[in-house]
Structure 1
Amino acid sequence: MGIKFKPLARVNPLDRAADPKYYAAVVANGSVDFETLAEQISEQCTVTETDCLAVLNVLEQNIVRELKQGRIVRLGKLGNFQVSLSSQGFSGLGEVTASAVKKARILFRPSKKMRNLLSNLSYQKVG
């Protein structure tokens, strides 16, 4: 098995009159929730499923709290979470205010081990 993908047509946003081009797009193979992760973790160690779920819930709450404070959240061998901003551009330093922020998003920067996973994937075309 591998990562399933399908061809997806996309229009060039800089030249909408041009013919669309086809790109490989991942077809999701389901999802996994905290409860399932807690169950899997409890099967691999001596911690109970309930304890695992409690830790995962508190981890989520703490990640949110730290990101709201503008901190980078480093999760060891998983990677880092950080808030990123998009804003309007101005010619003068003093013109940049909080109202210039147009959008915020959360970036995840995977660790080297997680990035290396990408070099060992296999792919399967569907549809």
Structure 2
Amino acid sequence: MALKYLVKKTTFGFDKAKNEKYVARPFSIGQVDFKQLCDQVTAVGLMPRGIVKSVLDGLIDSLVTYMEMGASVSLGEFGTLRPSFGCKSQDDAKEVTADTLCRRKIIFTPGKLLKNMINDVSIVKLQLPGESSGGSNNGGGGEVIDPME
């Protein structure tokens, strides 16, 4: 398998001349919902769907518990999750309060298995039906894929 990309025309906000440029954007086939994920884990792991859902629900509840304490949580080969936030800078240490905190987020650091996957997976241009393979916009060959399939 390979990751696919599309070529998109973009104007960057930092470009004062507002020149249009062409960039590669990842092509997504959509989002896998929780039910689909449970069904796939059931098929691969040979576990009943109810057990898979219960384990994943318990995992989510446990992640919330530990991250509310301020802990980073390792999920083995999957990676690590940790709570974080940004802060508006202040001129004096006394001015740094909870009110100056902003951008609460959860940072995910992938584990070795996922890092290796993303580094090793091939990337090809998604060629839409009817698009010529020799045009100046093409950026090279690639598989012809119907994005609606």
Q: Normalising TM by the smaller chain, what interval?
A: 0.7 to 0.9
Following superposition, the deviation at residue 46 of structure 1 comes to: 4.4
Per-residue displacement from partner, 1:71-94 (whole Å, max 9, x unpaired)? Answer: 111101110111221111112222
**Matched residues in 2 for 1:46 and 1:121: separation?**
27
Q: 2:146 corresponds to which residue?
A: none
User: Are residues 4 and 46 of structure 1, via their aligned partners in 2, closer, same or farther at CA, if it must alter by over 3 Å?
Assistant: closer
Q: How does 1:1-127 map to 2 (within 5 A)?
A: 1-126=1-126, 127=128
Superposition RMSD in Å: 1.9
Following superposition, the deviation at residue 18 of structure 1 comes to: 3.7
Verify the 8 A CA contact 1:34 1:56 in the aligned structure 2.
no
Per-residue displacement from partner, 1:4-35 (whole Å, max 9, x unpaired)? Answer: 11123444443343413322111112222222
**Matched residues in 2 for 1:10 and 1:92: separation?**
41
Matched AA of 2:17: A
- Which consecutive segments of 4 or more residues in structure 1 shift more than 4 A? none
Q: Report the TM-score, using the length of structure 2 for normalisation.
A: 0.74
Q: Specify the SS of the correspondent of 1:28.
A: coil
Q: Greater Rg, structure 1 or structure 2? A: 2
**Matched residues in 2 for 1:7 and 1:45: separation?**
37
**Matched residues in 2 for 1:60 and 1:29: separation?**
25
The number of aligned residues is: 127
Per-residue displacement from partner, 1:35-81 (whole Å, max 9, x unpaired)? Answer: 22222222334421111111111211221232222211110111011
Q: Which runs of 5+ in 2 are unaligned?
A: 129-149
User: Are residues 66 and 39 of structure 1, via their aligned partners in 2, closer, same or farther at CA, if it must alter by over 3 Å?
Assistant: same
**Matched residues in 1 for 2:116 and 2:122: separation?**
13
Q: Which runs of 5+ in 1 are unaligned?
A: none
Q: 2:136 corresponds to which residue?
A: none
Identity %: 27
